[in-house]
Amino acid sequence: MRAIVNTGPGTLQWLEMPMPEPAPGQVRVRTLAVGICATDLQMIDGWERTGFPSVPGHEWSGEVDAVGEGVRGALLGKRCVAENVLADGGEVGFEHPGGYGEYLLTEAANVHLLPDGFAPATAALIEPLAVCLRAMGRARVRERTPTHAMVIGDGPIGLIAVMLLGRAGVGRVTLLGGRDTRLALGRELGAATTLNYHETGDIDDGYPLVVEASGSASGINTALQAAAPGGRLVVLGDYGPERAGFFWNYLLHRELEIIGSNTGAGAWAQAVRLTASEALPLGRLISHRLPADQFATALELARTSPDAVKVVLDW
């Protein structure tokens, strides 16, 4: 099979790899679409979590192509997504080869089947949606719905958070980001106010809920400053090799509650249902779709284009 392999810091190339064979309890999936995530870019640049060579891609959808011993054959030919954390603690797209390859292995117990007609490119965004749904659940947003909230970061995670906060009944959501195209989309998706940090001075405080989705030191410090006394701060940004110097006095003096959330565990089935019902316009986040053999162009768009939101590769 072919795969886009990260062979060293900043280096990706097409390589022929052995066709993976599913072990007992596993399925082999033929990749149909894979989203490019900011975490992929960190990995490609040499993030210490993964070594080389590696096959990135944790936002994917596909079709069950083969099953291992003990897995029911009825799964064959079914389109699916799957939770990425495997029994050994590693993740598909990190420690295990992901959707940048034509085929991947996952555990049958992790598979979520897709309804007929489900667009593979949109299905590739179920992973970030599940991550956001779990975060909203951990923050008990529906049980403790604030009157207003701030989302920091105008990437796909931040934009999904805007949609989910609105769906949960938050009356006014402010989105802080750095790209006008994304901020405009944020308004269309439900943000009452958008702020471009390149043009905005001091950020008002007093938000009972702040979602930090930028993955930057400045973002988390802005979140600490923006939170109201007794407020909740949901940390969704992945900092990779960056180590933020936190403004701890805000945490102490305002008695803030910080809620970290990292995976979509327990939220995938809900994410599939929401997307299938079109209750959330998840496909609106896809700004660019390219064939997999144009991966270099796709990665450059994801890194540098002011108009890029979510770039998806089609296999």
Per-residue confidence (pLDDT) for residue 48, from 0 to 100: 65
Per-residue confidence (pLDDT) for residue 242, from 0 to 100: 59
**pLDDT of 14-47, one tens digit each?**
999 999 999 999 999 999 999 999 999 989 998 7
Residue that is written with structure tokens 């973002």 in the block: 219
Per-residue confidence (pLDDT) for residue 248, from 0 to 100: 79
Mean pLDDT of the region 57-71: 99
Which of 233, 284, 261, 285 has the alpha carbon at shortest distance from 133?
261
- Kindly list the structural domains of the chain, giving each domain's residue range(s) and its CATH number in brackets, ordered by start: 2-124+281-314 (3.90.180.10), 129-260 (3.40.50.720)
**CA gap 193, 188 in Å, rounded:** 11
**pLDDT of 259-301, one tens digit each?**
999 899 999 999 999 999 988 999 999 999 999 999 999 999 9
Per-residue confidence (pLDDT) for residue 204, from 0 to 100: 84
**pLDDT of 164-220, one tens digit each?**
999 999 999 999 999 999 999 999 999 999 999 998 877 888 999 999 999 888 898
The pLDDT confidence band at residue 241, using thresholds 50, 70 and 90, is: low
Per-residue confidence (pLDDT) for residue 50, from 0 to 100: 80
pLDDT: which is higher, 68 or 51: 68
Q: Estimate the crossing angle of helix 126-138 against helix 268-276, to 10 degrees.
A: 120
Mean pLDDT for the chain overall = 95
* Residue 33 near residue 61, CB atoms below 8 Å: yes
**pLDDT of 142-167, one tens digit each?**
999 999 999 999 999 999 999 999 99
Give the list of residues 6+ apart from residue 233 with CB closer than 8 angstroms, or none: 210, 212, 223, 224, 227, 256, 257, 258, 259
**pLDDT of 81-139, one tens digit each?**
999 999 999 999 999 999 999 999 999 999 999 999 999 999 999 999 999 999 999 99
**CA gap 113, 105 in Å, rounded:** 15
The pLDDT confidence band at residue 302, using thresholds 50, 70 and 90, is: very high
